[in-house]
Structure 1
Amino acid sequence: MQRLTTLFPSTMLEEHAEELGVVERDGKLQIPVLVWAFVFGFAAGESRTLAGFRRAYNSTADEVLSPGGFYQRLTPLFAEYLCDLVETALDEVAVPHTVSKEFSRFRDVIIADGTVLRLHQFLAEEYEGRKEEQAGARLHLLHNATDQTIERFSVTDEKAHDSTAFDTGSWLKGRLVLFDRAYFKFRRFALIDENDGYFVSQLKSSSNPVIMAELREWRGRAIPLEGEHVYDIVEDLQRKYIDVEVEVSFQRREYAGTQSWDTKRFRVVGVRVEDADDYQLYITNLSRESFLPADIATLYRCRWEVEVLFRELKTQYELDEFDTSKKHVVEVLLYAALLSLVVSRALLKVVTEEADDECVFPTERWAATFRSHAQLILHELGDYLGYSPPPLLERLIEDAQKIHQQRPILQERLATITQPTIEA
């Protein structure tokens, strides 16, 4: 519990909520409980309903909130508040290094990717989908495979390309970034190289760069590759690996009204896939002296980690099931899911440090374990923080009674219909 309260101290949660105007100084709402209710309420239960989050809050706080009192707290300001908490926590959460030894040469290994979240069609103006009368948001993540956490995140509408959410800069120094074809740009690769970073990306067939030199000598009557375009010759090759230097052309950013062309040399590696009788082709700035072709393929397979991360968000936390037509409620639920992921990783760090050295914790198995214990963790956290919720019977009465006094339930309607018959 101490690790969680260090990650989000109650005083910090309260002060930042007052700064943003999320709560009134003397209001009834207990903001730390509300935050933890969304964190663990998102992980627990079979469905992510607002009523479920309210029950999680009422089971922890000193005083219960009515449905109306709870829902009116879910504002655009509260969504902004949760977003701030995610950004704060990302710098504090890092699971002990568990990746392969090849990664130790880099400051971090970063995986860039995005996923689409389907939304209510009434949100089509705020979150434009690729098809008419559809709404969709795109969650862009930079996953830090070294520390097993999220490096950066952003949310756009579905039509925004993944590539637009990746910014180059000095933050790339010493880091290896793994890309799929959605991020493929020669200018981007050049900027990573010029910022002393490293990259591995799948090679787009439409790029088809020209080969300037072979980086490995072949015995016998090997097909010469210099001067050829990569995709023009791959079908004729039978060798296990391709390892060549290529030259690519690209446009620099516009400056003073003009846009100049430039060239750069990179390495293209091909690893033959015997079952498919084809090559997996990668472009990189990693040297042959440090990484052989098989090493490049091994590094790139780590991209699967971000796919597992998205699968965790969608299967364990049901991130793509948003049954609301309100934009700010979608954002509240999205940031709550990311907070749940961050807190899950924080607890995984504690578990990893306390367990025996030979213990291994697969992330998906850990996610399922975290989810199954979420309600218990919330209860213990409430005790640790000194909250005293109302007696269970009082909370059961509060949650189970009819909310709308003017709306008859089925038994009342039947009684009304059958009463004249009985009297007759």
Structure 2
Amino acid sequence: MIATSRRDIRPSFWRSEMQAAQVQELFEAVFPVEFIESEATRLGVQLRQRHLRVAELMVSLVLMGGSPEAGRISAAVRDYCNRGNPKVVRSASSKWFDEELLTLVTTLSARAREYVSGMPLHLPGILAGRRDWRAFDSTTVKLDKRLLEVWPGTGDYAALKVHKELSLGCENVVDYHISPAKEHDAPHLCIDEGRRGTGLIVDLGYVSHKLFRSCEAHDVHLVVRLKEGWKLRLDDSVTAGESIAWLADEDQIDLLAAGDCTLRDLPEKEMDIDVRFGPEDDPIHARLIVFEAKGGWGYLLTNVPRETHTGAEVAMLYRLRWSVELQNKLAKTGCQLDEITARTAVPAEILVHAAMIASILANAVAHLEHLDQGLVGETCRKMKSPPLHAMLVWKCITTATYNLATLLVAPEDTSMTWEQLAQFLRHGGQDPNWKGKPSAIDQVKGRTASGRAWKDLAGRRRRAVA
């Protein structure tokens, strides 16, 4: 527990009281005790109140995600019993994890995502101009081989995929769904009117000609890697002078002109040129961007207008897809999504949702700190204190699990206050590398020592002169 001094002489921006009410609102939105109890009764999760306190069980199920025993239902049950609830034998507790409880935890996950979707967005610099930018990716979770028929993997093993949609505005998962790992990714990304005016950064598994056409039809800006095997040709808008400037090799010019140029034929040279691909009678138009990256060269296709983003800025946008990879690491390593040992399908799916709720909660706490420092909309401010790191926030949450659970379910039984919890999360979750090694998302959002959002100023000057 964190002790507070009688007289707080710290500057106002270091005082956790500013966030205490928001932290309380967040945790109570993710764990709405009265709603959980009423839904449990309606769904038939519990038939008699004295047999199971469902709200406490749900808190244990999610917050135990960071323990070494995570993924095991016994860990959540033991934590539930250690808080003074009646002891139960393993055979009895296993019956709690049924279809009704799965429905309940799925509902709680949807409510958590709805809450974070409503948080203010921060879209400065190259993220501005769109309602939001989303990164879409999937992560594979291996399961017990007994679940092979329900969740078939791509080989002789059981596995499922969690398809995640991460908002770069609030830096959190705003949607996800589960599918057998054997299924292809592409059908799991739908472009409709709800995405109009947004931007999308997509993993290679979801890329298709249909995706490009759907994005054009619904005004969605798309940034993807060039697929190996796709044949490109110069767009009709490219002049002879431009093609010679970008492609000094006449053989490469001929390949692009003939529509026979693939990823392997492209030069290792920075370029930003208009191409088309797909059927000759109904081609898809896009920008081909080649840029130098760590370990090699990157090749991107995008429909982002050249008037708003230089080639380097589009490349930086694609780097932001790493944010969803960090979310995968948080869910798997921190919240133990990779440690699911359930032997039946329903408990396994329950534990997947519990791990996802946990990761959403940690990211939401980190975003609260951004909002607390005024990072909203297109505004950039010089940080008065270090931003929070979601992984460190989650470690703080797991450290305070017992008191936090009591604070949520029976606040009269603990001396911890929401002010103390907010202070603990703020100081324990600070990112120590935010100045020395800022991430791509930190640079783009101005969470650096300078407080300025990253832009390709040199490229913009060259474009202005041209």
TM-score bin (small chain): 0.7 to 0.9
AA at the equivalent of 2:271: Y
C-alpha distance in 1 between matches for 2:266 and 2:192: 40
User: Is this contact kept in 2: 1:108–1:145, CA < 8 A?
Assistant: yes
The equivalent residue for 1:130 is 154
The equivalent residue for 2:329 is 311
Matches within 5 A, 1:368-379: 368-379=395-406
Deviations 1:124-163, CA, capped at 9 Å, x for gaps:
111112113x111111111112112212211111101111
Matches within 5 A, 1:25-424: 26-60=49-83, 63-93=86-116, 97=121, 101-132=125-156, 134-212=157-235, 213-214=237-238, 217=242, 223=248, 225=253, 227-229=257-259, 231=261, 235=265, 237=267, 239-249=269-279, 262-273=282-293, 276=296, 279-353=297-371, 357-384=384-411
Deviations 1:364-423, CA, capped at 9 Å, x for gaps:
3333333333334223334427699xxxxxxxxxxxxxxxxxxxxxxxxxxxxxxxxxxx
The equivalent residue for 1:3 is 26
Deviations 1:193-217, CA, capped at 9 Å, x for gaps:
1111111110112111221133894
C-alpha distance in 2 between matches for 1:220 and 1:203: 22
User: Is this contact kept in 2: 1:248–1:265, CA < 8 A?
Assistant: no
| Structure 1 unmatched runs, 5+ | 251-260, 389-424
Deviations 1:80-136, CA, capped at 9 Å, x for gaps:
22112111210102565456521122111111111111111111111112113x111
C-alpha distance in 2 between matches for 1:147 and 1:182: 24
Aligned residue for 2:115, secondary structure, equals coil
Q: Percent identity?
A: 18
Deviations 1:17-49, CA, capped at 9 Å, x for gaps:
222221225453111111111111223445442
Relative distance call for 1:383 and 1:18 in structure 2 (3 A) is closer
AA at the equivalent of 1:340: A
Relative distance call for 1:321 and 1:340 in structure 2 (3 A) is same
Aligned residue for 1:271, secondary structure, equals strand
Aligned residue for 1:155, secondary structure, equals strand
Relative distance call for 1:308 and 1:238 in structure 2 (3 A) is closer
Aligned residue for 1:231, secondary structure, equals coil
TM-score (norm 1): 0.79
User: Is this contact kept in 1: 2:228–2:262, CA < 8 A?
Assistant: no
The equivalent residue for 2:462 is none
TM-score (norm 2): 0.73
User: Is this contact kept in 2: 1:43–1:374, CA < 8 A?
Assistant: no
Q: Tell me how far 1:2 sits from its aligned partner.
A: 4.2
C-alpha distance in 2 between matches for 1:320 and 1:131: 18
AA at the equivalent of 1:377: L
Task: Report the count of equivalent residues.
Answer: 375
Q: Which structure has the bigger radius of gyration?
A: 1
Q: Which structure dedicates a bigger proportion of its chain to strand?
A: 1
The equivalent residue for 1:398 is none
AA at the equivalent of 1:367: W
**Higher mean Cα deviation, 36-45 or 2-11?**
2-11
Q: Tell me how far 1:246 sits from its aligned partner.
A: 1.8
AA at the equivalent of 1:339: I
The equivalent residue for 1:17 is 40
Q: Tell me how far 1:298 sits from its aligned partner.
A: 0.3
C-alpha distance in 1 between matches for 2:293 and 2:357: 40
Cα RMSD for the two superposed structures? 3.0
AA at the equivalent of 2:215: I
